[in-house]
């Protein structure tokens, strides 16, 4: 059992120790992280100056604390990048970057080797769901597994589970606004500057999962229109 979500709820900030002194980065507002996500989507490559400007905004008062403590610029940059990883990836990525200076790419799921036995799905083509003995004289099996076991259908199912990214969601901002509005939350107000990022993130995740939400329906429509791809 993991209590990561509870821990983040109880303490959404980020604590970091440098030279025996602990510094705390308070939780960024939803507005701050949304702006960061938008800039990353529009301009993936930044100059050093642009990156420092974004880090200063993200760190808030912690930036002043680090500067006042005369922490080396490279160390401040590392703190900023760790906090950036927290909001663009997750807490474990932030810790990994702070301790190692890098974030290892997530290993891709590997497909098991094709089985050799005649009963296995895909033995006689991508639409073969596997099953009984293959009969050469009739060109079929004695019996078949359910169709969804065929490799072709498994690949389609995997495509439908494609990870939805923030650039995807930002393109559907109108639908997201309408979902929040249906719950009496006006994103046109100053609420995003008053609420922490996690408050916004968990609600967006719920809209992504809810089959009747405007956002979910728009995502599904794009997948169906573009071949299981939100774009």
Model's pTM, two decimal places?
0.65
CA distance 56 to 164: 28
Tokens representing 227 are: 């071949």
Quick one: average pLDDT of 164-184? 92
Q: What is the mean pLDDT of the chain?
A: 80
- Orientation angle between helical segments 48-59 and 61-68, nearest 10 degrees: 110
Q: Which residues of 42-53 are buried (b: 16+ CB within 10 A; e: fewer)?
A: eeeeeeeeeebe
Say what the pLDDT of residue 160 is. Answer: 46
Say what the pLDDT of residue 109 is. Answer: 43
Asked if residue 58 lies in contact with residue 83, where contact means CB atoms within 8 angstroms, the answer is yes
Say what the pLDDT of residue 111 is. Answer: 42
pLDDT in tens, 50-101: 888 999 999 999 999 999 999 998 899 999 999 998 888 887 888 888 888 7
pLDDT confidence of 9, banded at 50, 70, 90? Answer: low
CA distance 57 to 29: 10
What's the first-to-final CA gap in the chain, in angstroms?
A: 36
Residue in 72, 1, 84 with CA at minimum distance from that of residue 39: 84
For 40, 41, 47, 203, 229, the CA distances from 44, given in Å and listed in that order, are 5, 6, 10, 26, 21
């Amino acid at each position: 059992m993991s209590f990561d979500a509870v821990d983040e709820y109880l303490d959404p900030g980020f604590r970091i120790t440098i030279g025996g002194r602990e510094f705390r980065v308070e939780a960024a507002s939803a507005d701050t992280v949304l702006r960061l996500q938008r800039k990353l989507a529009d301009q993936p490559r930044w100059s050093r100056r642009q990156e420092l400007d974004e880090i200063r905004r993200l760190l808030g008062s912690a930036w002043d604390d680090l500067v006042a403590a005369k922490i080396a610029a490279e160390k401040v940059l590392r703190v900023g990048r760790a906090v950036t990883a927290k909001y663009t990836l997750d807490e474990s990525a932030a810790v990994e970057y702070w301790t190692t200076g890098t974030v290892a790419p997530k290993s891709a799921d590997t497909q098991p080797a094709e089985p050799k036995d005649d009963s296995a799905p895909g033995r006689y083509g991508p639409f073969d769901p596997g099953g009984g003995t293959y009969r050469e004289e009739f060109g079929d099996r004695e019996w078949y597994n359910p169709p969804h076991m065929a490799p072709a259908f498994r690949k389609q199912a995997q495509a439908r589970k494609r990870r939805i990214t923030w650039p995807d969601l930002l393109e559907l901002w109108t639908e997201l606004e309408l979902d929040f509005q249906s719950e009496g939350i006006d994103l046109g107000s100053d609420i995003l500057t008053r609420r922490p990022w996690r408050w916004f993130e968990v609600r967006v995740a719920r809209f992504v999962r809810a089959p009747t939400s405007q956002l979910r329906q728009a995502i599904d429509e794009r997948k169906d229109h573009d071949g299981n791809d939100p774009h």
